């Protein structure tokens, strides 16, 4: 699982780098070369440099908006980091950092913050002061509750918390009004209560948990397009599933479902329904095919 998350982390970094024009914003990998540049330095990468600390001279690069310090040996976030007030994209994946300092609140312009594969057990409440954040990745850490600081940042569009130990989520998710992508897969969630979800949510990943029942409020997420709840202990799907009007793909594989409610026929946009690994009788599968003639059903 750690290797899978690592792959995702690298993929995410490549997506971020794809947003940066390499001609207009060349990425420097040597601090001295960056300091000697006659032009403003916007992008810096110390990936896999074996660093225990960030080079102190980095504070002189006051134009920096992209910083990658992935895959080093950092055990803490150095204070120099928080002097880079222009930072917009920060990647600290694959280190050994245990906590985020209070000074994180200084990075007011940050829009993307990635700390996958570290040793975080909680998220500093001061993160809530970063009201420009759109993307956060805290995959493969040691978090046991959904970070409440994130619920104070309505600008967030993507939250990745895969591969932690989360078992509790306060019913305040709906406050993250712009959230479109939420990944809580491979955690320890067994009870979602009647958790409410943001109206704009499009992608929801809850696979590889221990969920027994999906909350009724989930079926009010009218804009949800992709739902993955495979590898849980779900025994039934509510007839209210008909509320997922925009759903395109639904993965219910490897649960304990014996039937699917007839109301599923109202999901006119459903293109893929995955039911493999459930104890559903063949006759009921055939009935589903009749109800959903335009849907590819895997069983």
DSSP 147-210: -GGGGG-TT--EEE-TTS---B--TTGGG-TT--EEE--SS-----TT----TT--EEE--SS-
Q: Do domains 1-139 and 206-299 have the same CATH topology?
A: yes
Scan for tokens 């009007």, then name that residue. 245
Please give the full DSSP string across 62-95, using - where no structure is assigned.
TT--EEE--SS--SS--GGGGG-TT--EEE--SS
Q: For the chain, what is the radius of gyration of the CA atoms?
A: 22
pLDDT of residue 216: 95
Tokens 């794809």 correspond to 18
Res 7: pLDDT: 41
Architecture of domain 206-299: Alpha-Beta Horseshoe (3.80)
Q: Give me the residue spans of the domains in the chain.
A: 1-139, 206-299
**Burial of 290 from C-beta contacts in 10 A (0-12 / 13-18 / 19+):** exposed
| CB 162, CB 5: distance < 8 Å | yes
* The predicted structure's pLDDT at residue 19: 56
Q: How many Å apart are CA 80 and CA 15, to the nearest integer?
A: 26
The CATH number of domain 1-139 is 3.40.50.970: no
Q: What is the C-alpha to C-alpha distance for residues 127 and 230, in angstroms, rounded to an integer?
A: 31
Q: What is the dihedral of CA 279, 284, 286, 291, to 10 degrees?
A: -120
> Measuring CA to CA, how many Å separate 17 from each of 12, 21, 40, 229, 267?
9, 8, 18, 30, 37
Phi, psi of 274 (to 5 degrees): -105, 120
* pLDDT for 1: 42
Main-chain phi, psi angles of 250, to 5 degrees: -135, 120
Q: Residue 93 has which token pair?
A: 């994946």
What is the predicted pLDDT for the residue at 60?
Answer: 97
Helix (H) or strand (E) holding 291: helix 282-291
- Measured CA to CA in angstroms, residue 207 lies from 141, 145, 232, 250, 258 at distances of 17, 17, 7, 11, 19
What residue ranges of the chain have pLDDT lower than 50?
Answer: 1-18
Entry pTM: 0.91
Q: Look at residue 73 in the predicted model and tell me its pLDDT.
A: 98
Helix and strand counts by DSSP (H, E) for the chain? 3, 13
């Amino acid at each position: 699982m750690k290797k899978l998350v690592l792959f995702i982390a690298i993929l995410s970094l490549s997506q971020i780098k794809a947003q940066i024009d390499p001609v207009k914003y060349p990425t420097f990998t040597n601090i001295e070369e960056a300091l000697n540049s006659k032009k403003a330095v916007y992008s810096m990468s110390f990936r896999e440099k074996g660093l225990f600390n960030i080079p102190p001279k980095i504070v002189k690069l006051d134009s920096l908006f992209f910083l990658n310090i992935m895959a080093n040996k950092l055990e803490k976030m150095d204070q120099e980091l928080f002097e880079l007030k222009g930072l917009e994209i920060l990647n600290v994946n694959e280190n050994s950092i245990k906590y985020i300092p209070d000074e994180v609140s200084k990075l007011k312009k940050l829009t993307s913050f990635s700390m996958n594969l570290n040793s975080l057990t909680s998220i500093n409440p001061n993160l809530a002061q970063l009201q420009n954040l759109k993307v956060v990745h805290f995959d493969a850490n040691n978090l046991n509750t959904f970070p409440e600081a994130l619920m104070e940042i309505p600008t967030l569009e993507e939250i990745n918390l895969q591969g932690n130990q989360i078992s509790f989520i306060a019913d305040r998710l709906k406050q993250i009004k712009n959230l479109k992508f939420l990944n809580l897969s491979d955690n320890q969630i067994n009870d979602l209560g009647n958790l409410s979800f943001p109206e704009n949510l499009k992608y929801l990943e809850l696979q590889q948990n221990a969920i027994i029942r999906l909350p009724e409020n989930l079926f009010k997420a009218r804009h949800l397009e992709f739902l993955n709840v495979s590898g849980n202990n779900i025994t039934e799907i509510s007839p209210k599933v008909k509320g997922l009007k925009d759903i395109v793909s639904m993965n219910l594989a490897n649960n304990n479902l014996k039937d699917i409610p007839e109301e599923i026929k109202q999901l006119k946009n459903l293109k893929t329904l995955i039911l493999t690994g459930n104890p559903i009788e063949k006759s009921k599968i055939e009935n589903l095919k009749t109800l959903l003639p335009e849907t590819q059903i895997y069983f």
